[in-house]
Amino acid sequence: TKTYKIAAIAGDGIGKEVMPEGLRVLDAVSRRFGIHLAFTPIDWASCDHYQKTGQMMPDDWREQLQPMDAIYFGAVGWPATVPDHISLWGSLLKFRREFDQYINLRPVRLFEGVPCPLAGRKPGDIDYLVVRENTEGEYTNLGGVMYAGTDREIVIQESVYSRFGADRVLKYAFELSQQRARKHLTVATKSNGIAIAMPWWDGRADEVGKAYPTVTVDKQHIDILSARFVLQPDRFDVVVASNLFGDILSDLGPATTGTIGLAPSANLNPERKFPSLFEPVHGSAPDIAGRNIANPVAMIWSGALMLQFLGHTDAHDAILRAIERTLIEGPRTPDLGGTATTTDMGRAIAELI
Ligand code: NAD
Ligand code: IPM
Ligand code: MN
């Protein structure tokens, strides 16, 4: 059988605390299903590494990671020592771009046993996928500051959308919608205010959508779409969005399911020309780091998404079942209203596998 090479990059803050729990569960599931995972722990792509060396990653980062079958990633960022735009553009955002991980798939689901902050909602009412464009859009470094330091100072930062880039994420979202029971796609837009790029984005959705007649499409301005995530979450099945809109929706959605500590993500290069990257949606959480109280589920579920992408759906499902049971029976970390540690919760999930 094949041995999968996985880079394990813990990063900073709670990334270093949830990573061992993710590995614990992957270890359990790989033994149960006879999957061979060979992990390479990597301590760069972290602010510690930056402090030691003056850069986030070694010059040969690409040569080291390209041979991997996947990257399992914790979280990066320690703003007390390294400005966020330096640490993130020096690591995670570089991976997404340079490994062309143009799909950021972010499931949102309300679990049984987790109190919902939205009144009257039960599991099943919130169950959708955010498909976030992950390589272009609002995330560019095109622009600059002019007349700096004067009272005429101006700043320009461009957004860039390409037909190639929009069409491929739309195509992915339509195909995903087509495979689901409800076959419903919401396109996040803002074609009233952002009057060049967003009507264009709507037009690309119309064009790409022609090939998917069974999928119903609903274009919504991002402002009301956000409101409906809160008021009518059962409307959503698959939601496709530009890079920044998708970023915001993928914290909002999980917040409505009780905690962002549950939310996983898959940064995919579907063509498998480059390794894909699997990580929690959340960051390094400096406010709770070092206390062993972070919820490890986002990290563990991201590991399940990694196995699914590698073709092991049975192992993915086993992890999900163990997460579901643990959320019902406990132990639970403080963000879920409990008093358990990160380790307690990770162990409980691993033991159920
Ligand atoms: P954050 O996601 O780290 O934290 C936001 C809030 O959610 C905090 O109150 C935190 O305690 C809580 N939280 C997050 N994950 C949790 C978990 N697993 N269990 C319980 N509570 C959890 O966002 P932030 O505070 O905006 O960013 C902190 C740092 O992380 C910054 O450096 C930021 O740039 C970085 N960041 C990195 C990533 C990433 O690596 N993918 C994602 C988001 C933010
Ligand atoms: C995420 C994060 C990143 C993003 C940051 C850390 C650059 O918020 O993965 O959602 O904006 O994409
Ligand atoms: Mn985010």
Give the per-residue pLDDT at 313: 98
Average pLDDT score over residue span 247-270: 98
Q: How far apart are CA 315 and CA 318, in angstroms?
A: 5
> How many CA atoms lie within 13 Å of 138's alpha carbon, on the beta-carbon side?
12
Give nearest CA residue, ligand 2 atom 9: 281
Give the per-residue pLDDT at 88: 98
- Is residue 294 pLDDT above 90, yes or no? yes
Distance 112 CA to ligand 2 centre (A): 28
Q: Which residues pair with 218 in a beta bridge?
A: 186
The token pair that represents 311 in the structure block:
């073709």
For residue 298, the ligand closest to its alpha carbon is 1
- Is residue 185 pLDDT above 90, yes or no? yes
Which ipTM did the prediction report? 0.99
The token pair that represents 102 in the structure block:
């143009």
Q: How confident is the model at residue 236 (pLDDT cuts 50, 70, 90)?
A: very high
Domain 127-256 in the same topology as domain 1-102+263-353:
yes
Distance 169 CA to ligand 3 centre (A): 18
**Closest ligand 2 atom to Cα of 93:** 7
* Mean pLDDT computed over every residue of the chain: 98
Residue 283: CB partners within 8 Å, gap ≥ 6?
A: 13, 75, 76, 77
Give the per-residue pLDDT at 154: 98
Alpha helices of the chain — where are they, by DSSP H?
A: 15-33, 47-53, 61-65, 84-89, 92-98, 163-179, 197-209, 222-231, 243-256, 297-309, 313-329, 342-351
Report CA-CA distances (Å) from 343 to 41, 96, 317.
Answer: 19, 29, 22
Query: Which long-range CB contacts under 8 A does 163-169 form with residues at least 24 apart?
Result: 163/204, 165/102, 165/133, 165/135, 165/136, 165/137, 166/133, 166/201, 166/204, 167/204, 167/207, 167/208, 168/102, 169/102, 169/103, 169/131, 169/133, 169/134, 169/240
**Closest ligand 1 atom to Cα of 88:** 34
Q: For the domain 1-102+263-353, what is the CATH code?
A: 3.40.718.10
Residue among 86, 88, 242, 248 to mutate when testing ligand 2 (max atoms within 8 A of CB): 88
- Answer whether 281 contacts ligand 2 (Cβ < 6 A): yes
pTM: 0.98
For residue 260, the ligand closest to its alpha carbon is 1
Distance 232 CA to ligand 2 centre (A): 25
> How many CA atoms lie within 13 Å of 315's alpha carbon, on the beta-carbon side?
25
Distance 2 CA to ligand 1 centre (A): 35
Q: At what angle do helices 297-309 and 313-329 cross, to 10 degrees?
A: 160
**Closest ligand 2 atom to Cα of 134:** 12
What backbone phi and psi angles, to 5 degrees, belong to 156? Answer: -125, 130
Distance between alpha carbon 61 and the CA centroid of its chain, in Å? 22
DSSP character at residue 54: S
Please give the single-letter amino acid code of residue 203.
G
Contact between residue 208 and residue 215 where contact means Cβ atoms under 8 Å apart = no
Q: At what angle do helices 342-351 and 15-33 cross, to 10 degrees?
A: 10
**Closest ligand 1 atom to Cα of 74:** 40
Residue among 48, 134, 282 to mutate when testing ligand 1 (max atoms within 8 A of CB): 282
Residue 73: CB partners within 8 Å, gap ≥ 6?
A: 9, 11, 15, 45, 92, 95, 277, 278, 279
Distance 251 CA to ligand 3 centre (A): 6
- Ordered by start, the domain boundaries in the chain are 1-102+263-353, 127-256
Using one digit for the tens of pLDDT, what is the confidence trace for 100-158? 999 999 999 999 999 999 999 999 999 999 999 999 999 999 999 999 999 999 999 99
Q: For the domain 127-256, what is the CATH code?
A: 3.40.718.10
Q: At what angle do helices 297-309 and 15-33 cross, to 10 degrees?
A: 40
Percentage of the chain with pLDDT > 70?
100
Give nearest CA residue, ligand 1 atom 11: 285
Give nearest CA residue, ligand 2 atom 8: 247
Distance 279 CA to ligand 2 centre (A): 11
Q: How confident is the model at residue 195 (pLDDT cuts 50, 70, 90)?
A: very high
Distance 12 CA to ligand 3 centre (A): 16
- Answer whether 88 contacts ligand 2 (Cβ < 6 A): yes
- Is residue 87 pLDDT above 90, yes or no? yes
Average pLDDT score over residue span 230-251: 98
Give the per-residue pLDDT at 1: 80
